[in-house]
Amino acid sequence: MLTDAIRIDVPSGGGTYPVLIGAGLSSQIASLQPELNLAHRSLIVTSAPVWRLHRGALRSIAASGKPLVIPDGERAKTLATVKRIYDALVTRHLDRSATVVAFGGGVVGDIAGFAAATYLRGLRLVHIPTTLLAQVDSSVGGKTGVNLTAGKNLVGAFHPPVLVVCDPLLLKSLPVREFRAGLYEVIKYGVIASRPLLDRVSTCLPAILEQDPDVLTPLIADCCRIKADVVGRDEREGGLRRILNFGHTIGHALEAITHYRRFRHGEAIAHGMIASARLSAARGLMSAEDEASIEEVIARVGRLPRVRDLRSSDALDVLSRDKKVVNGRLHFVLAHGIGKAVVVADVGAPELRAAMRSLGMRS
């Protein structure tokens, strides 16, 4: 197993899997070859920018064949892209002993994970996330999926990986905007589960933006610990795991009505968190001071894309088809102060419209 790593074990229905976090870990993947047969029975799924920048990190397992390079970005999260992975698995005669290695950001992880979950009823999956958002969130927990025209992640499966390797050094090549988008997901974890984490983001923000490994590595680890605890108690999102969707309901709607072209995922979630915090304060669950502190740290991370030309009615139409609608009722996450979240099923259209209009959206 890899050395010099922070290790977090994530419980799942199929057994516990490790999340390893540490600078330079991606270059030690060769040590896993005897355990996972990565050299001879693997398919690396990646994107062109990631492979161009980081192919050296996986040189030891790339010898088994060229990686499958797929488009990146939410617009690539389609069943057509999944079919490309199926075709590559067939062409390479990979059987149920094979491993799919998802080497990229959250989109690559979601698509490759869904293909691994469904090909031959399940192949082993290794995540090597290359964006901050994927390292702190999407690579942990076993969610996979693709989008339909009607909405985001409407087709998917729960398929836990056998290993997640988070190497903060891989983040050095990220565009500034992409790195900042991932920080919004870190803020989410502070709001829903840890005031000290949110305070640390606020206090250490300059060092975080400089990607100081002494600050960034434990920050990633703390997010992964929170998620591991939540998914360990509710792997299939029957209750508790829904708190991880704080900011995501409205955020996903913003992505959908802009056809996944305007926002980085984290940016849309940031708008959603602001709206949800304001709704929480309006209901008396959160003080005005706490709401203001959430908005303040989000604003310090970076300027968000505009929403003033978007219509709340269009977003509400998308929300009516959200996968969090159960028996006709939308399950919505609110913040109970900072450090705790609650899931409610009584947030109606008037409240949602008011929250979105508070962002500056049109009716």
Catalytically active residues, by annotation = 121, 143, 185, 227, 237, 241, 245, 248, 252, 265
Relative to beta strand 163-166, strand 17-21 is parallel
- Alpha helix positions (H), the chain: 33-36, 48-54, 59-62, 79-91, 106-118, 132-133, 176-193, 195-203, 205-209, 213-233, 248-257, 265-282, 288-301, 312-319, 349-358
Q: Which two tokens stand for residue 285?
A: 């669950």
Relative to beta strand 42-46, strand 151-158 is unpaired
Contact 308, 271 (CB under 8 A): no
Residue 146 identity (one-letter amino acid): V
* DSSP-assigned letters across all residues of 29-78: GGGGHHHH-TTTSEEEEE-HHHHHHHGGGGHHHHTTS--EE---SGGG-S
Contact 122, 160 (CB under 8 A): no
> Residue length, the chain?
363
Calpha distance 264→253 (Å, rounded): 13
Q: What phi, psi does 43 have (nearest 5°)?
A: -130, 115
Contact 215, 310 (CB under 8 A): no
Calpha distance 215→185 (Å, rounded): 16
Q: Which residue has the tokens 């693997």?
A: 42
